[in-house]
């Protein structure tokens, strides 16, 4: 937290606590802590305010000001495409997608995911066979199928540069990716196909754990409640904190 606060302090346009005027309800360290609690637990502003003895409007101002700054100072910890390609060269990688839910904004019908039965954003994750996080994509509209997201994000390029990819049935037809066989209409899978599917499922266990780890940051797991225009900053800030926590070894 001290490292993060120092980074945020370095990009403030003016001192957090000025020597003139009304002092802020809490110092910078405490404010950054509140912003991180919001991203980690996706608690309501009233609840966060009660925890820290401040008002809901104060929490709202803290989140509005500091979340974009947290995003900015942690961008360097989020692997870009070139870094991801370097990490996967010569290695088999795992691919999976997940929906990060949000409110049903009236003017954003493309967020509806028919498969998941909720509104949200599609995020694509790539890991190595040991579960090491390699890449997490920018968010796409929830209606985007995993195979389409594979092509629209940089995941296809990453898999192409790897020793091969493994995905679930949603990635069938994606170049360079091994996927389970689907049961044919009116038929059934052979014993060999069932055995292959079981082996692929076992190999995919690490990416499932990575998705669960990613969504333990509750901002990705339960409905995002703030205005639609603020979502990308919150997503990027939480993604930055996710990788920052891995690199610095804390949760």
Q: Give the three-state DSSP class for 102.
A: strand
> Is the pLDDT confidence value at 21 over 90?
no
Paired strand residues for 128: 93
Q: Report how far residue 76's alpha carbon sits from residue 107's, in angstroms, rounded to the nearest whole number.
A: 33
Q: Which residues pair with 125 in a beta bridge?
A: 96, 136
pLDDT, tens digit, for every residue of 136-145? Answer: 999 999 999 9
Reported confidence tier of residue 248, pLDDT bands at 50, 70, 90: confident
Q: For the purposes of burial, counting CB atoms within 10 Å of the CB of 80, is it exposed (0-12), middle (13-18) or buried (19 or more)?
A: exposed
Alpha-carbon distance 91 to 189, whole Å? 29
Whether 250 shows a pLDDT value over 80: the answer reads no
Q: 145 Cβ partners below 8 Å, 6+ apart?
A: 115, 170
- Distance, in Å, from the CA atom of 112 to the CA atom of 163, rounded to the nearest integer, reads 34
Give the CA dihedral 26, 27, 30, 32, nearest 10 degrees: 110
Q: State pLDDT tens for residues 87-115.
A: 999 999 999 999 999 999 989 999 999 98
Average pLDDT of the chain is 93
Tokens of 11: 């990009």
Q: Determine which of 170-184, 205-219, 221-235 has the lowest per-residue pLDDT on average.
A: 170-184
E strand or H helix at 8: helix 2-11
Taking each helix axis from N to C end, the angle separating 45-52 and 56-74, rounded to the nearest 10 degrees, works out to: 100
Whole-prediction pTM: 0.92
Tokens 């967020």 — which residue? 111
Query: For 52-67, what is each residue's pLDDT tens digit?
Result: 999 999 999 999 999 9
Percent of the chain with pLDDT over 90: 83
Could you tell me the two tokens for 234? 């919150």
CA 214 to mean position of chain CA atoms: 6
């Amino acid at each position: 937290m001290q490292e993060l606060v120092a980074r945020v302090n370095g990009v403030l346009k003016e001192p957090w606590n000025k020597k003139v005027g009304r002092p802020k309800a809490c110092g910078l360290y405490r404010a950054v802590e509140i912003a991180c609690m919001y991203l980690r637990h996706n608690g309501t502003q009233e609840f966060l305010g009660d925890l820290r003895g401040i008002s809901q409007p104060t929490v709202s101002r803290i989140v509005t000001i500091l979340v974009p700054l947290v995003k900015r100072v942690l961008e360097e910890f989020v692997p870009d495409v070139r870094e991801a390609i370097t990490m996967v060269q010569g290695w088999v990688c795992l691919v999976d997608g997940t929906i990060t839910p949000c409110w049903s904004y009236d003017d954003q019908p493309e967020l509806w995911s028919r498969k998941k039965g909720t509104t949200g954003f599609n995020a694509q994750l790539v890991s190595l066979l040991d579960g090491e996080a390699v890449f997490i994509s920018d968010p796409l509209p929830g209606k985007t199928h995993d195979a389409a997201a594979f092509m629209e994000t940089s995941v296809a390029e990453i898999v192409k540069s790897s020793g091969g990819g493994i995905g679930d049935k949603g990635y069938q037809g994606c170049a360079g990716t091994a996927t389970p066989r689907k049961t044919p209409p009116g038929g059934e899978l052979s014993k060999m196909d069932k055995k292959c599917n079981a082996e692929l499922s076992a190999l995919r266990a690490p990416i499932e754990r990575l998705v669960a780890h990613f969504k333990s940051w509750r901002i990705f797991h339960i409905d995002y409640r703030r205005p639609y225009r603020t979502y990308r900053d919150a997503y990027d800030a939480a993604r930055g904190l996710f990788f920052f926590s891995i690199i610095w070894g804390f949760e």
